[in-house]
Structure 1
Amino acid sequence: MKIDLARHSGFCMGVRDAVMRIVTELNDTDEEIFVYGPLIHNPQTVNILERRGLKTIKTLDDIDDRVIAIRTHGIPLEKLRDIKARSRRYINLTCPRVSKVQGLIKKYSGRGHYTIIVGDADHAEVMGLKSYASAGVTVVSSVEDIEKIPRARRYIVVSQTTQDKEHFSRMVDSLKTRFSELLVFNTICDSTHHRQDDIRLGISRNIDALVVVGGKQSANTARLARMGRECGVKTIHIESEDELSIDDFAGIENVLVTAGASTPGWIINNVMEKLYSIKNTRMGRLTTCWLGLVEYALRLNVLSAVAAFFINLFVQRYAGAVLDLKSAAVSAAYIFAMYTINNNLEMKSLLNRNPLKYSLQYTFRKLLVPLSVILLLLSLWLMLDYKTVIFALHCVAVLLGCVYSTEAVKKSILALNLSPLTRLYYLKNLVSSMGWVLATTVIPLMVHGAEWYAYVSLGFMVFTMIFIRDLFMDVIALQGDLLFGRQTLPTMMGPRKTRTLAVIMAALALAAYASITIWRGEYIFLAFVLNVLFFGLVYYDINSRHYTIALRHEMLLDLNFLIFIGMFFAVSAAG
């Protein structure tokens, strides 16, 4: 089964800007913020924002001296004036495209034009548009409605921004047969055009099924679903991945997924992953088992632990030491346990950020958590054979890793009210990378009494490999992290600056590692620069796509671990 994601899916410009603006307001102010009517037509996003403090109100009875947000669809003019007069502060989140239509109606109504709106009379946007038509207005949704339009000297025709463009063209043609003084503005949003064109293109390519993701109350999403049905394509309109069933795709070979303008990226990601899961169950048993093992290895932190084992061995070989498997086993145990324990301490965040990983972690938690504790105790026992300072350093690393995500530590950090410390605490990719370097690089180098150059060269190399991997993971999860209020480097810096930082880090690591390796004459170890260069391919792939799918890109990023392990064996055999 082939699964394609329509090029134009998810948040449109107006919704994205409104959501990001309100998220910023929620992050930066202690004021209560109220929105008159639902901010957007997506229940999951609205529920998340309400949990974060945004309160939806249905009337303006109690808005005096309060902060009021205007929904993306706009509101009637008299309501807006009331809010301006009575609120302490108002935040206008009306989509700029809707504001433009409001302006057109206001301008030409002032010149005596009667307004004709092609749209749905009960839609929030249309109800707002009508209030700007001071010279009279009629809303038409079908050719039959044209009979209701009274005679006037001249007319202006506009569209609800989420209308079907072909329907609008047919309505305009019908209007022109009856009225001569007709000034027509096609005010359908480009985003709406593009989504509809994506479906037409998919139908021309003989798709068997169309999955439309978005709120059931969303006009533009419902219209996308209607397009599919009218064209005779099996169409499934869902709000979340839970509504999909393997039975829905019996006999289906070509699926197109699209999403409404108010559908957040994390929901689209979840739907795509569910579809890939359904696809995998339809493959042969051997392929299904293999893909299942890969997913388990990724999401139960097994691959990370195996990678830590071989990074430790690589560090030892680079330093010219006799390989110590016990030290490598300690690294693997530490990385597996730290990821597992912290995943379980942050299950709520994991549920929102990565539901499939959450599902696996939750299902196997009674096995994984005790196993992690046993592995940590085993690592402490193994470290007793080394110097006291090395054992103490490992103990500190274990203690800090175990308490890092606890509520007690979070509350203590926040209570200190030190902004730099708080930001540092929430930069988990930085902390995680330092943990990797300590466990897989610093401690084994201390065990073997390595020279300074090994610390510099390998420290840069390992830190950069993990740091860039985690950065790209955060870029993929950016939209969901912003909504949920999770602080990461991409949410603080933005995706473009984050990718620039990744390039700078890669350049520094390559310079340090390659120059020291060449200086030592250990040319065979230059092969490992491929692990840093590999991120260039990931960078290109993410930049060239209009959308990233979490599972696919997690696999792509962690493929680097497998490449690293393969090169370790190749270099060991050659050496």
Structure 2
Amino acid sequence: MKVLVAKTAGFCKGVRDALEVTLGAIKNQQDGENICTFGPLIHNRQVLAMLEAKGIREVNEIEGCADRKVVIRAHGIPPETRQTLHRLGATLLDATCKRVAKVHAAIKRHARRGYYTVIVGDADHAEVIGLMGYTEGRGVVINRVEQLNELPAEWENVLLVAQTTQNEEVFQEIQEEFLKKYPKGKVKNTICDSTHERQTEVREMCSLVEAMVIVGGFHSGNTLRLAQVARECEIPTYHVETEAELNPQELAKYSRVGVSAGASTPNWLIRNVVRFLESIRPEQPEPRFSVKKTLELLAYANFSVALGAALLSAAAQALSGLPGSWTYSLMAACYVYAMHSLNIFLDRNAIQLNDPRRAEFYERWRLTFMSTSTLAVVLALGLALAHGFLPFAAMVVLVLLGSLYAVPLIIPAGWRGSSVFKIKDIPTSKTFFVPIAWACVIVLVPHLWGLRESFGPLVYASWVVFLMVLIRTTLLDLIAVQGDRIVGKETLVVLMGEVRTSRFTNAVFGLLSLSLLLGPVLGLASWFAWALIPAVAAYWWYLHVGSKRRLKEDPVFESYIEFMLIGSGALGMVWNLAAG
């Protein structure tokens, strides 16, 4: 089945901001501090369950918020409720969507001037309840144009606004009749841009597919509107929270299906639905072999990452001009494979969110990964020992650091205010430690004995490998950011945000390009450095084009990222063979 995924599907900015506020509260939580949300933070049961597992519970009775740190939900609350929370001794963390807050301000400003407010929305929705609180008792909620006939004709000062997730066409219809009834009335289209873009895209997609699947909470207003928009296009529409609610036999009659999702729906839920749909073969069985399945297996088995490390050893040899060996490549591959596999198990919470299928794959083959990782560590240490005591000692240090990365360590009382510490808890540790480890095991460890004689070329080759792997790691962090945020993983993108991280990666691209251009000129590298520039250009292309695709957490995309390193290493092998 061919599946089209809406570009606008998934978290909107308001939801991301609300999660940031909540996760920040968890991170800074003091001993004995009790944190809750007043009502559901967002309308997605799966995300709320994950927050509850981290100790953030939903409280719906205002008395239950007394003397607690309370996160105000993205939908906002009435001012009276806010005042009551303050009287109860609650400390408030405001996660109200900024677009909703602007509607609050508009209603409040007009209410003070005596205006009546007509809100187009659902009267029992949390956002609308919050909006009504700012009308000073002169507000009314409607959701059909016919309800305008029930409003007093003598109103002169009257304001029309919308629930931010309202159906655009419904609001336009009501607006037209509203201005006929109240010529002096004011209209503010407060439907947020995200809602408008999602609904517009769904309408466009409906002309390209045979059916639509809308993913999101059954209590989510904006998700319900998307399903309504699709049905208005007279196309079969399925509103589901997870892929388990889809009937493969019923969907098998379609060959082209569109997928969109509400603003509170995380990418991993959308991705699961897309994979489920793609697995449906209406006329013929799924082929045993396909490029996509092969690339997925290479990524899941950690073969792509190990091969990238092995071949980068050849690229480092071509850059530095120092003698190489297949044992260097095997040592690097073994180390990277073992550490990658080990830390995936130790950090499986984020994997579960970013790629549930991968988590299931690792669990199924757990014993295989454990045994092969152990064998890989032993082999890496043995190869290092064969090159001398100094490389062996360095490899022991790297193995220990890599193995302890996600392991709780006991720290003397008083330091950091806690007795338990993990290396991975250091902000941006993964983003920078991984490329440092790669540079050490690929370049420095094999040539420690010649470090004094070839200091410049070795440091230069290490620098280039570090920058290339830094870009690779940052790309992977960017595409896994949702799960990392939820579990509190301190990557660069979680710390800086996606926009700043993209700018940072652009700067690294520029630094890498400059380094490759200057290396041969300064006598620090062979002319092979210039041959690597096309690989850098390909990296850049994947960041600016490839990373914009929907559901880019797909392991196929990850394999493509790894192939950038593999391609660079393959160029190095060709160069070394030609140099002879």
Verify same fold: TM over 0.5: yes
| Cα distance change of structure 1 residues 238 and 356 upon mapping to structure 2, 3 Å threshold | same
Of 542, 561, 570, 1:538 maps to: 542
| Cα distance change of structure 1 residues 480 and 368 upon mapping to structure 2, 3 Å threshold | closer
The residue aligned with 1:165 is: 168
Shift in Å at residue 439 of structure 1?
A: 1.7
The residue aligned with 2:533 is: 529
Preserved contact between residue 6 and residue 198 of structure 1 (Cα < 8 Å) = yes
Shift in Å at residue 286 of structure 1?
A: 5.9
Determine the C-alpha separation between the residues in 1 that align with 2:120 and 2:510: 55
Shift in Å at residue 533 of structure 1?
A: 3.4
My pick for the range that moved more, 303-312 or 512-521, is: 512-521
Determine the C-alpha separation between the residues in 2 that align with 1:304 and 1:487: 22
Q: Structure 2 stretches of 5 or more lacking a match?
A: none
My pick for the range that moved more, 260-269 or 477-486, is: 260-269
| Cα distance change of structure 1 residues 217 and 284 upon mapping to structure 2, 3 Å threshold | closer
| Cα distance change of structure 1 residues 549 and 233 upon mapping to structure 2, 3 Å threshold | farther
| 1:20-35 equivalence runs, <5 A | 20-30=20-30, 31-35=33-37
Preserved contact between residue 453 and residue 516 of structure 1 (Cα < 8 Å) = no
Determine the C-alpha separation between the residues in 2 that align with 1:101 and 1:42: 23
Quick one: which amino acid aligns to residue 159 of structure 2? I
Preserved contact between residue 33 and residue 66 of structure 1 (Cα < 8 Å) = yes
- The structure with the largest helix share of the pair is 1
Give SS of 1:139's match: strand
Shift in Å at residue 499 of structure 1?
A: 3.0
Shift in Å at residue 373 of structure 1?
A: 1.0
- Please state if 1:47 is matched with 2:25: no
Give SS of 2:539's match: helix
Preserved contact between residue 225 and residue 237 of structure 1 (Cα < 8 Å) = yes
Preserved contact between residue 318 and residue 572 of structure 2 (Cα < 8 Å) = no
Quick one: which amino acid aligns to residue 190 of structure 2? T
The residue aligned with 1:285 is: 287
Determine the C-alpha separation between the residues in 2 that align with 1:489 and 1:315: 26
My pick for the range that moved more, 552-561 or 170-179, is: 170-179
The residue aligned with 2:352 is: 351
Determine the C-alpha separation between the residues in 1 that align with 2:214 and 2:220: 11
Preserved contact between residue 321 and residue 448 of structure 1 (Cα < 8 Å) = no
Determine the C-alpha separation between the residues in 2 that align with 1:421 and 1:370: 24
Of 85, 95, 98, 1:96 maps to: 98
| Cα distance change of structure 1 residues 428 and 92 upon mapping to structure 2, 3 Å threshold | closer
The residue aligned with 1:328 is: 329
Give SS of 1:61's match: helix
Preserved contact between residue 3 and residue 257 of structure 1 (Cα < 8 Å) = yes
- Please state if 1:198 is matched with 2:201: yes
| Cα distance change of structure 1 residues 461 and 249 upon mapping to structure 2, 3 Å threshold | farther
Determine the C-alpha separation between the residues in 2 that align with 1:181 and 1:524: 73
Shift in Å at residue 427 of structure 1?
A: 0.8
The residue aligned with 1:230 is: 232
Preserved contact between residue 525 and residue 571 of structure 1 (Cα < 8 Å) = no
My pick for the range that moved more, 417-426 or 247-256, is: 417-426
Preserved contact between residue 334 and residue 379 of structure 1 (Cα < 8 Å) = yes
Determine the C-alpha separation between the residues in 1 that align with 2:190 and 2:501: 36
Preserved contact between residue 319 and residue 529 of structure 2 (Cα < 8 Å) = yes
The residue aligned with 1:186 is: 189
- Please state if 1:488 is matched with 2:487: no
Quick one: which amino acid aligns to residue 382 of structure 2? W
Shift in Å at residue 560 of structure 1?
A: 0.3
Preserved contact between residue 387 and residue 446 of structure 2 (Cα < 8 Å) = no
My pick for the range that moved more, 226-235 or 2-11, is: 2-11
| Cα distance change of structure 1 residues 441 and 233 upon mapping to structure 2, 3 Å threshold | same
| Cα distance change of structure 1 residues 532 and 416 upon mapping to structure 2, 3 Å threshold | farther
Give SS of 2:331's match: helix
| Cα distance change of structure 1 residues 64 and 44 upon mapping to structure 2, 3 Å threshold | same
Shift in Å at residue 354 of structure 1?
A: 2.6
Determine the C-alpha separation between the residues in 2 that align with 1:525 and 1:111: 70
Of 530, 553, 560, 1:556 maps to: 560
Shift in Å at residue 207 of structure 1?
A: 1.6
Quick one: which amino acid aligns to residue 394 of structure 1? M
Quick one: which amino acid aligns to residue 350 of structure 2? S
Shift in Å at residue 426 of structure 1?
A: 5.6
Shift in Å at residue 423 of structure 1?
A: 5.8
Shift in Å at residue 332 of structure 1?
A: 1.6
Determine the C-alpha separation between the residues in 2 that align with 1:116 and 1:506: 52
Determine the C-alpha separation between the residues in 2 that align with 1:197 and 1:432: 42
Determine the C-alpha separation between the residues in 1 that align with 2:318 and 2:413: 43
Shift in Å at residue 460 of structure 1?
A: 1.0
Determine the C-alpha separation between the residues in 1 that align with 2:193 and 2:382: 64
My pick for the range that moved more, 279-288 or 120-129, is: 279-288
The residue aligned with 1:303 is: 304
| Cα distance change of structure 1 residues 29 and 563 upon mapping to structure 2, 3 Å threshold | same
Q: CA RMSD in A?
A: 3.2
What is the TM-score of this pair, normalised by structure 1? 0.89
| 1:123-134 equivalence runs, <5 A | 123-134=125-136
Give SS of 2:62's match: coil
Determine the C-alpha separation between the residues in 2 that align with 1:549 and 1:377: 32
The residue aligned with 2:471 is: 468
The residue aligned with 1:385 is: 386
Quick one: which amino acid aligns to residue 21 of structure 2? R
Preserved contact between residue 273 and residue 551 of structure 1 (Cα < 8 Å) = no
Preserved contact between residue 436 and residue 462 of structure 1 (Cα < 8 Å) = yes
The residue aligned with 1:376 is: 377
Preserved contact between residue 303 and residue 337 of structure 2 (Cα < 8 Å) = yes
User: Per-residue displacement from partner, 1:354-389 (whole Å, max 9, x unpaired)?
Assistant: 322212211111111111112222333343432122
| 1:212-231 equivalence runs, <5 A | 212-231=214-233
The residue aligned with 1:13 is: 13
- Please state if 1:4 is matched with 2:7: no
Give SS of 1:195's match: helix
Shift in Å at residue 280 of structure 1?
A: 12
User: Per-residue displacement from partner, 1:22-71 (whole Å, max 9, x unpaired)?
Assistant: 32233234242332211111122222333333332111124333322322
Preserved contact between residue 315 and residue 445 of structure 1 (Cα < 8 Å) = no
Shift in Å at residue 233 of structure 1?
A: 1.7
Shift in Å at residue 488 of structure 1?
A: 0.8
Determine the C-alpha separation between the residues in 1 that align with 2:318 and 2:282: 40
Shift in Å at residue 571 of structure 1?
A: 2.1
Quick one: which amino acid aligns to residue 193 of structure 1? H
Preserved contact between residue 312 and residue 566 of structure 2 (Cα < 8 Å) = no
Determine the C-alpha separation between the residues in 2 that align with 1:425 and 1:190: 33
User: Per-residue displacement from partner, 1:393-444 (whole Å, max 9, x unpaired)?
Assistant: 222222332232223x3x5499741899776476113222122122221122
| Cα distance change of structure 1 residues 83 and 283 upon mapping to structure 2, 3 Å threshold | same
Give SS of 2:36's match: strand
Preserved contact between residue 113 and residue 135 of structure 1 (Cα < 8 Å) = no
- Please state if 1:57 is matched with 2:59: yes
Determine the C-alpha separation between the residues in 2 that align with 1:473 and 1:413: 34
Determine the C-alpha separation between the residues in 1 that align with 2:98 and 2:177: 29
Determine the C-alpha separation between the residues in 2 that align with 1:435 and 1:383: 15
Shift in Å at residue 345 of structure 1?
A: 2.0
| 1:391-406 equivalence runs, <5 A | 391-406=392-407
Give SS of 2:501's match: helix
Preserved contact between residue 209 and residue 255 of structure 1 (Cα < 8 Å) = yes
My pick for the range that moved more, 139-148 or 206-215, is: 139-148
Determine the C-alpha separation between the residues in 2 that align with 1:413 and 1:227: 59
Preserved contact between residue 398 and residue 437 of structure 2 (Cα < 8 Å) = yes
Determine the C-alpha separation between the residues in 1 that align with 2:203 and 2:456: 60
